[in-house]
Structure 1
Amino acid sequence: MKRQNVRTLVLLVSTFLYLLAGAAVFDVLESQYEESEKVRLDNITKTIKEHYNMTTNDLEDLRLTMIKYVPHKAGVQWKFTGSFYFCMTVITTIGYGHSAPLTPGGKIFCILYALVGIPLNLVMFQSVGERLNIFMGFCVKNFKRCVRFKKAEVSHTELVMLGGLCTMLITGGGALAFVKFEGWHLLDSVYFVAITLTTVGLGDFVALQQNNMLQSNPEYAAFAIIYILAALVVVASVMNLLVLRLLTLNTEDERREAQAQEMTSRSSGLDLNHIDGHLPYHHAHAGGALLGKKTDPRSMCTSCCNDCKHPHRTHHDPYGIGANAIHLQHMGPTIYHATYSDDETFENFMTCERSSKRKSI
């Protein structure tokens, strides 16, 4: 099985197992609290109905009214600042759910706006993330030169670590800012930043939804919008590096497979040249198979030894080296024994043939 297929299968199984593990953990952490909270709210509802002598329908109307009043309590949502904030949550796929269009025209426009804005936003984040990675690599390279590192090259792992460090700094700084302006606990602020930057956007915590901040505090509104966009760019750059690493692994696997196929095809071609070694003349010259004829090596030696000093096979294998043993004979008392590949032997044979033909001509 190909490595790409194995990696894809491992990712699918890992994702499914990750979902199972997450479901089990949330079941343990949240289910018991949910049951106790439901009992508490049922008791409060019963008390309100008995105290104010309300019917079930009246209580349901009151509940729906309070739910719809939540975004209005935060202030005006659909002036320019609030609309800009909503558009940002749409194209970044955060989607807090704190406000939503209610008119038919607003719903239709929101659909079209999301269809165009989401791909545009993804391409923009990817492009800006690539530029940011290049800038970080440039900074790291110059830093290494300043401190006189032996190697100034920047590795992919170093860029990922640097991007992760920047993400942690941005998350911590944003959390502290929201603690100050929103009055949240530190854990709630970190939770909001993490849910926002991962574009999950559960909507249980939403910035700019207290004391009419969208209109009364435009500086903080501008900070919140710019912070979210800038932090998303940093996260996108890190994600881009991780995705690039995965694509690089797939490309390397494809290159290895191509090289293996090429080597296989070459080896199969060389096997055709070695067929002559398994024929009755088991020590026949490598050129015999390619020239389509079986030649007795002793007669070959007689015909070509007088014209060249190139190595050729002997019918006798005195050293037991195998079919590739070459007996080098020179016109003198010295005798050499060596091992050559069949390709080299065939080239030597062709050289002998050409020289003998030239002499005969």
Structure 2
Amino acid sequence: LWKWNVTSCSDGPLLAVAHFTYLLVGATIFQILEREAERNNRNHFQLEKLNFLANYTCLDGPALEKFVKVILDAWENGVNPSGNSTNPSNWDFSSSFFFAGTVVTTIGYGNLSPSTASGQVFCVFYALCGIPLNLAFLNQLGKCLTNHLGRLERGVVSQTVKALAASSFFITGSMLFLVIPPLLFSYVEGWTFGEGFYFAFITLSTIGFGDYVVGADPAKEYISLYRSLAGIWIIFALAWLALVLNMGMTPVVIFLVCILFIISFVPYCLIMSIFYVEPENNVHRRP
């Protein structure tokens, strides 16, 4: 998809060095930024566990460790430990539709996965057929929209009008798929705007860490089609990105998309830093 101008195999070693250097730099920075926080979280958990055992002397360490393991196993199987048996199913149609979308788009949040042998086997074959189908769909949709835009451009003589039309398309798509949805997710989920933008970027880049997932808070009542609508947003946003790439956008222009994303993100961060109150429980986060 990316239109890099690699002219010969002699560029291979240089690209390899640049690629692994980029990985090494990223690993170093992530380690610096996250390692201390992880250590603090681990120490905080151990302190809380010791305080819990001191307050409830009828429990011993092994029993608590066993219970914690049960909680972790439940979470790995898609059951939120903070909920109860009356919480909505993770496998209702809306959630299943959302899951199917994360499979074919290769996002794979990791917060929900098949636990039965039959479900796992079906998921393998479903992904084998669905991933190429999704790529073909996005590619064809991008080409069709590009052809329609090409016809419109041929009917326009002025280069200024063409530039304005392309800019309008670019800005409108960015607003519809990169700016407005994160704001809506932030409002519905009770996230900060920064968390909403983070979720949108991690989703549309198909990284899908799974630390933030829509419709995963058992304390909230979502409309029945909420996760299905989120899945549709993902498909059409990826189609828009495919169209941008099919229009011959260079990596420089894609970089400008990221800049627009960041610029639109900054004022909301400033506003929310003044008015936003952090929720007491971040149940949308994975442990």
Fold in common (TM above 0.5): yes
Asked if structure 1 preserves the Cα contact closer than 8 Å seen for 2:94 and 2:225, the reply is no
Q: 1:138, CA displacement in angstroms?
A: 4.1
Aligned counterpart, 1:225? 231
The correspondence for 1:179, drawn from 156, 175, 186, is 186
Q: 1:188, CA displacement in angstroms?
A: 0.2
Structure 2: which amino acid aligns with 1:65?
V
Q: What are the Cα deviations for residues 198-252 of structure 1, in whole angstroms up to 9, with x where unaligned?
A: 1111000001112487x8512433321211111111122334456x969xxxxxx
Aligned counterpart, 1:107? 120
Q: 1:151, CA displacement in angstroms?
A: 9.6
| 2: CA distance, partners of 1:135 / 1:7 | 37
Q: What are the Cα deviations for residues 131-165 of structure 1, in whole angstroms up to 9, with x where unaligned?
A: 233334444555x53xx33896x8xxx97x77764
Q: TM-score, normalised by structure 1?
A: 0.58
Structure 2: which amino acid aligns with 1:133?
T
| 2: CA distance, partners of 1:22 / 1:138 | 43
| 1: CA distance, partners of 2:142 / 2:11 | 26
Asked if structure 2 preserves the Cα contact closer than 8 Å seen for 1:179 and 1:186, the reply is yes
Q: 1:44, CA displacement in angstroms?
A: 1.0
Aligned counterpart, 2:66? 61
Q: What are the Cα deviations for residues 169-213 of structure 1, in whole angstroms up to 9, with x where unaligned?
A: 221111111112111100000000000001111000001112487
Unaligned runs of 5+ in 2: 1-5, 252-287
Q: 1:108, CA displacement in angstroms?
A: 1.0
Structure 1: which amino acid aligns with 2:104?
I
| 2: CA distance, partners of 1:224 / 1:163 | 22
Aligned counterpart, 1:234? 240
The correspondence for 1:50, drawn from 54, 66, 70, is 54
Structure 1: which amino acid aligns with 2:100?
C
| 2: CA distance, partners of 1:127 / 1:206 | 29
Aligned counterpart, 2:96? 83
Residues 1:191 and 2:198 aligned together = yes
| SS of residue in 2 equivalent to 1:4 | coil
Unaligned runs of 5+ in 1: 247-361
Matches of residues 1-361 of structure 1 in structure 2 within 5 Å? 3-53=7-57, 54-70=59-75, 71-72=78-79, 73=83, 75-140=88-153, 142=155, 144-145=156-157, 148-149=158-159, 165=171, 168-169=174-175, 170-211=177-218, 216-240=222-246
Return the structure number with greater relative CO, CA threshold 8 A, min gap 6: 2
Q: Which has the larger radius of gyration?
A: 1
Q: What are the Cα deviations for residues 279-338 of structure 1, in whole angstroms up to 9, with x where unaligned?
A: xxxxxxxxxxxxxxxxxxxxxxxxxxxxxxxxxxxxxxxxxxxxxxxxxxxxxxxxxxxx
Asked if structure 1 preserves the Cα contact closer than 8 Å seen for 2:102 and 2:108, the reply is yes
Asked if structure 1 preserves the Cα contact closer than 8 Å seen for 2:109 and 2:208, the reply is yes
Asked if structure 2 preserves the Cα contact closer than 8 Å seen for 1:75 and 1:210, the reply is no
Asked if structure 2 preserves the Cα contact closer than 8 Å seen for 1:179 and 1:189, the reply is yes
